[in-house]
Amino acid sequence: MPIQEKRRILEHQQIAPQQYKLTISSPYISANAQPGQFVQVRISSEFDPLLRRPLSIHRHSIKHKSFELLYEVIGKGTELLSQASVGSELDILGPLGKSFMINQSEVAILVGGGMGSAPLLMLAETLKAGPKKKAIYVILGAKTKERIIEENIFREAANEVVIATDDGSYGQHGFVSDVLINLLENVVTPNHYSQTTIYACGPHVMLHAIADLTFQKQIACQVSMEQKMACGIGTCLGCVIKTRSGYKKVCDEGPVFDAKEIEWQV
């Protein structure tokens, strides 16, 4: 059940060029958020920018009653957000949306492209803390080395982390889908495909490529769809995508979907 509340910024740091991490105090969201959910952040009390910004929940700490958000400065709203000071308050609505489904699979492969890696840390930590011991692989991709998100923290949660960069400045040169093919052919192997779930978040073209691969290999796959959102609560219809059972709202019927549910378009 989402709530709207004004919560204090505990930490706010730049982690890469144009990328920031916010730590926000909230007993409610830290206790109730599930991996893959997001919050809507009101950037300003003025009319401009008017709309809240949807940001994935990156991590939570029930012990510290706080949660983390990652974001990239891409416009006026996030530029203003980057100037928010520690100790000030943000108007937050959340947690929102459908989370990743944690199933009985023995192998979990988490694939994140760019800022799409943000919600996967909470997922990795939740899987690791779960009752069933899983093999957890994480594939992180970005344009350059400096844009790889929180590699060391992912390494604490996963059995193995593999990096891909578009420019080859770190890890493998290429796309996360290339790394995934390699992992599926040489590490996980077909014997384990029926016991594997792939969780992916990133640009549409990346998700489409991963979905196609999982269809070929008959591996379960959940994707977190990125879409522009206005209301974030299912009322404006501004975030619909085409699925096999009609149009669905990414904000409250997603953002996580079974990859088989999506009508993938080029």
Nearest distance in Å: CB 239, ligand FES: 3
Q: Are 224 and 259 in contact (CB under 8 A)?
A: no
CA dist 262 and 226 (Å) reads: 13
Taking CB under 6 A as the binding criterion, the range among 80-88, 123-131, 147-155, 235-243 that sits at the site for ligand FES is 235-243
Nearest distance in Å: CB 232, ligand FES: 5
- Region 154-183 residues binding ligand FES, contact defined as CB under 6 A: none
* Residue closer to ligand FES (CB basis): 153 or 236: 236
> For residue 150, how many C-alpha atoms fall within 13 Å in the half-sphere facing its CB?
28
Task: Give me the sheet containing 220-224, strands edge to edge.
Answer: 172-173, 160-165, 135-142, 107-113, 196-201, 220-224, 256-258
Taking CB under 6 A as the binding criterion, the range among 21-29, 84-92, 210-218, 230-238 that sits at the site for ligand FES is 230-238
Verify binding: residue 235, ligand FES, rule CB under 6 A: yes
Verify binding: residue 223, ligand FES, rule CB under 6 A: no
* Residue closer to ligand FES (CB basis): 122 or 229: 229
* Residue closer to ligand FES (CB basis): 215 or 247: 247
- Could you please report the per-residue DSSP string of the chain? --EEEEEEEEEEEEEETTEEEEEEE-HHHHHH--TT-EEEEE--SSSSS-S-EEEEEEEEETTTTEEEEEEE--SHHHHHHTTPPTT-EEEEEEEESBPPPP-S-SEEEEEEEGGGGTTHHHHHHHHHHSSS--EEEEEEEESSGGG---HHHHHHH-SEEEEEETTSSSSEES-HHHHHHHHIIIII-GGGGGGEEEEEES-HHHHHHHHHHHHHHT-EEEEE-----SSSSSSS-TTEEEETTEEEEHHHH-BEEEGGGB----
Verify binding: residue 51, ligand FES, rule CB under 6 A: no
Verify binding: residue 238, ligand FES, rule CB under 6 A: yes
Taking CB under 6 A as the binding criterion, the range among 131-139, 141-149, 155-163, 227-235 that sits at the site for ligand FES is 227-235
Verify binding: residue 231, ligand FES, rule CB under 6 A: yes
Verify binding: residue 122, ligand FES, rule CB under 6 A: no
Beta bridge pairs of residue 55: 39
Verify binding: residue 94, ligand FES, rule CB under 6 A: no
Among 5, 159, 234, 243, binds ligand FES (CB under 6 A): 234
- State the number of binding residues for ligand FES (CB under 6 A): 12
Taking CB under 6 A as the binding criterion, the range among 121-129, 163-171, 182-190, 234-242 that sits at the site for ligand FES is 234-242
Verify binding: residue 187, ligand FES, rule CB under 6 A: no
Nearest distance in Å: CB 77, ligand FES: 15
Among 90, 121, 251, 256, binds ligand FES (CB under 6 A): 251
Write out the residues near ligand FES by the rule CB under 6 A: 229-232, 234-239, 249, 251
